[in-house]
Structure 1
C-alpha cells in the first residue's frame, strides 16, 4: 500500500513559491494572451487551493484491478461501498459502508483529487485493515427503490485542515494468500466549506445517481413502464456501479464507484487547480438554497448536469440576479425537475426521482408530457437562466463551430468565423438559444448528428447579468475534455464522434471568461 506522507509546512511553502513562479512565467497561455486577471483578485485572500496543490501528490491513487460480477455487469460485489452523505465539512463525520463477497480483509485509502504537479491526487489517510463481510442486498421498494441499509464499516472524522475538494476512497481487498488476486473499487464524497471563493464548482451528483444502475438495472431509466417517465425512485444509499448507462460513450471499469466525476468533471477540477484558481466544491444538494453560492463570485455547472431540484433552479436564479457569474460547462443541464427527500433514517436529500420537465411552455415540454407523463412537477423555462434550451433530440456528436469571433471570449485564440474544434459537442448539448434575453449573443453553433446521421443543432451563448456579471453556456457535456487530461482519464465518444482532449482554444476561452469576471 502507499505510504505517502504530507510534507512539513516549510517544504510546502517552498514548493508553493516555486509553483507560483512557474505559473507566472509560463502558465500555459497562448502567445500574446493576457496574464490571468484572477491573480490580483486572489491576492487579497489566502489561496488555499494553490497551497494545497504545492503539497506532494501520489502516483498511486487509481484503480488497478477491478472485477465486475459479469462481463456486461454493473457492480463489483467482491468489494463495493458507499458513503452516508454526499458532502461533509471539516470537523464533521461521514460513515462509510463496505461489503465484500466473499468475506475478505480490506484497506481504505482516502485521496483528495486535484493537480499536485500533474499527479492528480494526494493521499490523505489510510484506514484499516478491516474485516469485511457481505452486506445484504436491499429488497426493491415502491417504484423499484433500492435503498441499502448496510452497517457502517468506519466513521471518518474530517480533519480541520482538509481542503474543500472531491475525495476518492480506494477500497482494496487483502487476500489471505499471496498468490491470490486483490480487487479494488472507489467510494466518493465531497468536502465542502463556507469560505468566500472566486469559483464554486458544483458536482453533478444528482445525475450520477439518476444513471446509476446498481445493482443490476435500477436507474431512473430502467423502470418497466418506460425510461423517460416519473416511475423510478433512486437512492444515494447504494454503491455507484460502472457507468453502464453510457455503453458506447464511456465504458471505463477503472472508474467504478466514482459516479461520473472521473469521466466528465475531473478534467475541469484538474485544470482549475493547475492554474491556481480559488475554487470551492459542493454537491447538487448544497444548492437547495442560494446561501453557499452567494459567497462566491462564479458558479460552475459541469459535465452532465441534467437533474436539478426546483430549489436549485431558484437558488442559481437568485445568485445570477445578485451578481454571481454563471458558467454552464455542461450539456443537457437543468432538464428534469428532481424532487429530493429524506432516506429511511431521516437523513435529508437521499432519495430522488424524475419529477417532470423544465422548459415552461416550450413545445418540447408538451412533447415530453404527452409521451412520458403525467408528471407531478413542472419547471420554469431553463433557457431564461442558462441561455439556451433542451430541445429534442438532445444527443449526438459534432464540432464546436465559431460564429462570432469578435466576441471578447475569443481574445487570444486566433479563431475566425467557421473555425471548429473537432468532436467537442456531445453526447448531449443545448440547442435552442433564448434569444429573448436582452444582450444575449450566440458565439458558436452548428449541426450535431444523432446516431451519426440524423441532424440536430446546438447553440453556445453568452449574456450579461443585471449587475455586471455574465452567463456563459458552452452547450456541451464534453467541454471539459478540452481543458486537461488527468492521469488515467478516458476520453468519451458518442454517435461516431469524439473530442480530441486538451485544446489550447478551449483553455483560452475558459480563461478569458474567468479573467473578465474575476477582474
Structure 2
C-alpha cells in the first residue's frame, strides 16, 4: 500500500509559517519581558546585598527649647525634593554657633536588617549661622541660604530615599557634637513593578520650622485657606502624636513610610521611589505596574489627582496604604527665586466631605473654605470622614475574599490597633466595590466613627485597594530606630503576619 502524503497549498503553507513565526515572536517577547522583570528585581536585591551601616541614626539632637521645633546647632535642607542620577543637588546648612561639620549620606532600605547603607562622606566643612527668614505673605517662611556644598548624584545610586546626616565636629574632645538630617529622594525613569510615592507634601504641610509656621498654625483655623509652606527650610521635629527625635530633618518618612520601604526591599520587590511633585503627569506613573500611596498622604496638587486618575484608567494598579489621603488641595507655586514647585498653597479641600461633616468640624475651617469638584473617594474607594482621627482595630468582614488567602482570618477577627490615627470611610458608589474590612475608631478614646477598607476593579483588570489607615506600614516591619505611635489612647502592635500576607496577596495580584 502506498503511503498517503498531505499536500499543503501555497496559501496554507504561508499561513502556517506565519502562525509559527508569530508564536515564536510572542514567546521571544515574553521571554524578554521575563528577563527584564528579573533584572529589575535583581537591582533591589543586589543593592540590599551590600553591607549596611551600623551607625546611621541620629544620636545627639537638641532642640532650641522645651517643646521646640528646631535644632539650631546644625540644621539644613536640600534644593530639590527629588533628583536623578547625574543631576546636582545643593545642601544648605546652618550651624549656630559657627562650627565645622561632616555629612554622611545614607540610602535607606533593608540591608540585612540594618536599615541603611553609607554612600558617601563629605567634610569636615565650615559651617556658619544662616539667617532666619522673615514672615512673608500668607505666613510663608522661605529660607534663602547659601549652599554649603553640592553633590552630583552618581550614576550607581539606586532610586530610594536618602538621608544626609549632619554632624558638628567639636574643636575640643570635651565638647559635645550635635546632629540632624536632610532628606531627599533619588528617582529614575525606568519601568518598575512598584512606584513608591513619598508623602513629602504632607511632611512639609505639618512642618512648623522655625517655631510655629505650618499650614496648621494660622490663627484663623487649622485648615485656613491661603496659607503657604516652603520646601526651602529645614524639617523641624515632627509636631504631632508623639516625640520622635529621628524626625528632625527627615519629615515624616521614618515614622510612617520607612516600615513599608524596609519590608519591600527585604523581600526583593522591584520598587522605585518618587516625591509627590514627580506625579504631576500620568506618564511618570504608568511606567510602573502599581502606584503606592503610603502613610499620611494628605496634600495634593490637582495635577496629581488628574494624573493618578488617568493612570488608573489606563490600567495601573493603585494601593492606598494610607489614611487621610488626597484631602487638602495644595497647588505647587514657584519659589521667590523662580524655582518651580517649591511652595505649597492651601486653596481648599477635595470634594469628599459633606456639608454636614464640614459644619460639624467648622472650627478647623475658615468661613471662606472651598471645595474642589474632584472627589477623592472616586480615586480611592473611600475618603476622609468626620471625626477625622481616632484609633481602632482593623476588622475582617469578608474572609472569603482573595486578599485574605493564607491569613487564617475569619469574619470578625481583628488586627488590634492598626487603624489610626487618621483613616478613611464612607465608601464610594463604584461598580464592583467591596468593603473588605470595617469597624469603629474612637476620637479621644470615646467619640466613635466608622471606617471602611475597600477594593474595586479598574477598567482594565487592575485593582484599587484602600487600607483606610495611616498605620498600615506599622504592621509590616519595625526597622532600626522605629518607634510605634500612640494616639487617641490606641496603638498598633507592630509587625503582624496577617498584614504581611494581605500585602503579599495584593502585590502578587498586581504583578509584583
Structure 1 length-normalised TM: 0.90
Write the distance in 2 (CA, Å) between the matches of 1:75 and 1:453: 34
Write the distance in 2 (CA, Å) between the matches of 1:442 and 1:298: 21
Structure 2: tracts of 5 or more residues without a match: 1-32
1:95 aligns with 2:90: yes
For residue 135 of structure 2, the aligned residue among 129, 133, 140 is: 140
Aligned pairs for 1:364-443 within 5 A: 367=359, 371-375=365-369, 378-434=372-428, 436-443=429-436
Indicate the residue corresponding to 2:265 in structure 1. 273
1:460 aligns with 2:453: yes
Shift of 1:364: 5.3
For residue 307 of structure 1, the aligned residue among 290, 294, 299 is: 299
Write the distance in 2 (CA, Å) between the matches of 1:518 and 1:486: 26
- Assess if the C-alpha contact under 8 Å between 1:250 and 1:491 holds in 2: no
- Assess if the C-alpha contact under 8 Å between 1:413 and 1:509 holds in 2: yes
Distance 1:182 1:45, change over 3 A: closer
Shift of 1:379: 4.2
Indicate the residue corresponding to 1:235 in structure 2. 230
Write the distance in 1 (CA, Å) between the matches of 2:194 and 2:147: 34
Indicate the residue corresponding to 1:156 in structure 2. 151
1:446 aligns with 2:443: no
Indicate the residue corresponding to 2:76 in structure 1. 81
Instruction: Count matched residues.
Output: 478
Shift of 1:359: 1.7
Indicate the residue corresponding to 2:504 in structure 1. 511
Indicate the residue corresponding to 2:174 in structure 1. 179
- What is the alpha-carbon root mean square deviation over aligned residues? 1.6
- Assess if the C-alpha contact under 8 Å between 2:352 and 2:384 holds in 1: no
4+ runs deviating over 4 angstroms: 38-41, 368-371
Shift of 1:254: 2.6
Write the distance in 2 (CA, Å) between the matches of 1:360 and 1:287: 21
1:197 aligns with 2:189: no
- The superposition leaves residues 417-463 of structure 1 with CA deviations (integer Å, 9 ceiling, x where unpaired) of 000000000000001111x1011000000010000011111100011
- Assess if the C-alpha contact under 8 Å between 2:201 and 2:276 holds in 1: yes
**344-353 or 499-508, larger mean C-alpha shift:** 344-353
- Assess if the C-alpha contact under 8 Å between 1:111 and 1:125 holds in 2: yes
Indicate the residue corresponding to 1:262 in structure 2. 254
Indicate the residue corresponding to 1:332 in structure 2. 324
Distance 1:44 1:166, change over 3 A: closer
SS at match of 2:385: coil
Write the distance in 1 (CA, Å) between the matches of 2:304 and 2:255: 23
Write the distance in 2 (CA, Å) between the matches of 1:40 and 1:159: 26
- Assess if the C-alpha contact under 8 Å between 2:281 and 2:307 holds in 1: yes
Write the distance in 2 (CA, Å) between the matches of 1:40 and 1:429: 39
SS at match of 2:283: coil
Shift of 1:375: 3.9
Write the distance in 2 (CA, Å) between the matches of 1:296 and 1:355: 30
Shift of 1:48: 1.1
Write the distance in 1 (CA, Å) between the matches of 2:451 and 2:399: 17
Write the distance in 2 (CA, Å) between the matches of 1:167 and 1:437: 38
- Assess if the C-alpha contact under 8 Å between 1:441 and 1:461 holds in 2: yes
- The superposition leaves residues 99-121 of structure 1 with CA deviations (integer Å, 9 ceiling, x where unpaired) of 00011100000000000000000
Indicate the residue corresponding to 1:491 in structure 2. 484
Shift of 1:45: 4.2
Shift of 1:344: 1.3
Indicate the residue corresponding to 1:481 in structure 2. 474
